[in-house]
């Protein structure tokens, strides 16, 4: 199950997981796009479904988590559009929105689905963080703060559920051109094709990140637990 998989990094992740033989459950607000991705995967022979959950709705998220059935993989990837406002001017509602989708929903899903996984032999949880935790650029305070909390939740989940066979890791990507940040890369003069293919290797693509997420979901990473993997081609190590 991958949240926010109707497009972007989430969509690339379900496509990669499907190519590795996983059955797919897409959870997203955007029903039309989520259904289209699921239909495309089905046409390629994958067992795939899409379901609509508004992850800002804590009660609906809890109800969904308790009734979703057995899962081996949970990827908490959904995130709302980012603010671009000065710290002094960000309204409480924006802090609440970012924390609802980035921290509360993964917390509820990890707790409920993690409980079911630990009772049924284990599983893998991957939370999508961001480089903005280590490098909090101006104007994204609620987003970066919520991602920071998500990294701690990842480590606590790993420590407490690890002995029960549930691994929890996080992937923190650098800037990846997707719909969420289209105005930024369009302003930089990056074309549609260049954004999709990585602009001659100078930019990350959704599949650069999806490959790492899928690896952390797979038995190939069975001894990796509680890690936050920064996917940035070394940018942070140079600062
Ligand atoms: N693109 C980047 O540069 C970048 C960098 C670092 C981290 N990330 C993280 O990667 C993840 C995916 O980012 P992306 O660029 O693919 O974003 P995106 O905006 O393209 O996709 C996000 C998906 O989440 C869904 N979503 C948003 N709010 C929701 C809600 N309330 N309920 C259910 N679904 C909801 C959207 O419908 C969308 O399909 C996010 O967690 C993001 O913070 C992205």
How confident is residue 229, by pLDDT bands cut at 50, 70 and 90?
A: very high
pLDDT at 239: 73
Asked whether the predicted pLDDT for residue 83 surpasses 90, the reply is no
3-state class (DSSP) for residue 122: coil
Query: Ligand 1 within 6 A of 118 CB?
Result: no
Q: How far is the CA of 19 from the centre of ligand 1 (A)?
A: 21
**Residue 158 resides in a domain:** yes
Domain count, the chain: 1
Atom of ligand 1 nearest to the CA of 76: 41
Q: How far is the CA of 102 from the centre of ligand 1 (A)?
A: 9
**Mean of the pLDDT values across residues 3-19?**
98
Give, in order, the Cα–Cα distances in Å from 64 to each of 19, 25, 27, 152, 173.
26, 13, 10, 24, 28
Q: Which of 24-38, 47-61, 125-139 has the lowest mean pLDDT?
A: 125-139
Residue span of the structural domain in which 41 resides: 2-81+93-174+207-231
Q: Using the structure block, give the residue that is written with the tokens 């719909």.
A: 179
Atom of ligand 1 nearest to the CA of 9: 16
Among 13-22, 131-140, 200-209, the range with the most confident prediction by mean pLDDT is: 13-22
**Residue 58 resides in a domain:** yes
Looking at the whole model, is its pTM more than 0.85? yes
Give the chain's largest Cα–Cα span: 51
pLDDT at 184: 85
**Residue 34 resides in a domain:** yes
Asked whether the predicted pLDDT for residue 48 surpasses 90, the reply is yes
- 14, 17, 15: which is closest to 26 by C-alpha? 14
**Residue 182 resides in a domain:** no
Q: How far is the CA of 163 from the centre of ligand 1 (A)?
A: 30
CA 196 to chain centre: 19
In a 13 Å sphere around the CA of 6, the CA atoms on its Cβ side amount to: 20
**Mean of the pLDDT values across residues 159-168?**
98
**Residue 196 resides in a domain:** no
Choosing from 6, 8, 54 the residue with most ligand 1 atoms within 8 A of its CB, the one to mutate for a pocket test is: 8
Q: Residue 135 maps to which CATH number?
A: 3.40.50.720
How confident is residue 54, by pLDDT bands cut at 50, 70 and 90?
A: very high
Neighbours of 110 (CB within 10 A): 24
**Residue 11 resides in a domain:** yes
Query: Ligand 1 within 6 A of 128 CB?
Result: yes
**Residue 239 resides in a domain:** no
**Residue 154 resides in a domain:** yes
Q: Judge whether 143 counts as a catalytic residue.
A: yes
Asked whether the predicted pLDDT for residue 84 surpasses 90, the reply is no
């Amino acid at each position: 199950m991958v949240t926010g998989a109707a497009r972007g990094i989430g969509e690339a992740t379900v496509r990669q997981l499907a190519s590795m033989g996983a059955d797919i459950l897409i959870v997203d607000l955007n029903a039309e796009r989520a259904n289209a991705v699921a239909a495309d995967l089905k046409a390629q022979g994958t067992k795939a479904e899409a379901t609509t959950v508004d992850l800002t709705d804590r009660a609906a998220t809890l109800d969904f988590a308790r009734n979703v059935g057995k899962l081996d993989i949970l990827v908490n990837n959904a995130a709302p559009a980012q603010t671009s406002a000065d710290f002094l001017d960000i309204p409480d509602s924006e802090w609440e929105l970012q924390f609802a989708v980035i921290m509360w929903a993964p917390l509820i899903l990890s707790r409920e689905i993690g409980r079911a996984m630990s009772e049924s032999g284990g599983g893998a949880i991957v939370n999508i963080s961001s480089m903005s935790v280590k490098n909090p650029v101006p104007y994204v305070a609620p987003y970066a703060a919520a991602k920071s909390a998500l990294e701690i939740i990842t480590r606590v989940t790993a420590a407490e559920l690890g002995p029960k066979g549930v691994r929890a890791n996080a992937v923190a990507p650098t800037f990846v051109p997707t719909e969420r940040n289209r105005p930024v890369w369009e302003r930089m003069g990056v074309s549609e094709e260049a954004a999709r293919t990585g602009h001659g290797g100078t930019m990350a693509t959704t599949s650069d990140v999806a490959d790492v997420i899928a690896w952390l979901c797979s038995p190939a990473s069975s001894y990796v637990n509680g890690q936050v993997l920064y996917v940035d081609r070394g940018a942070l190590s140079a600062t």
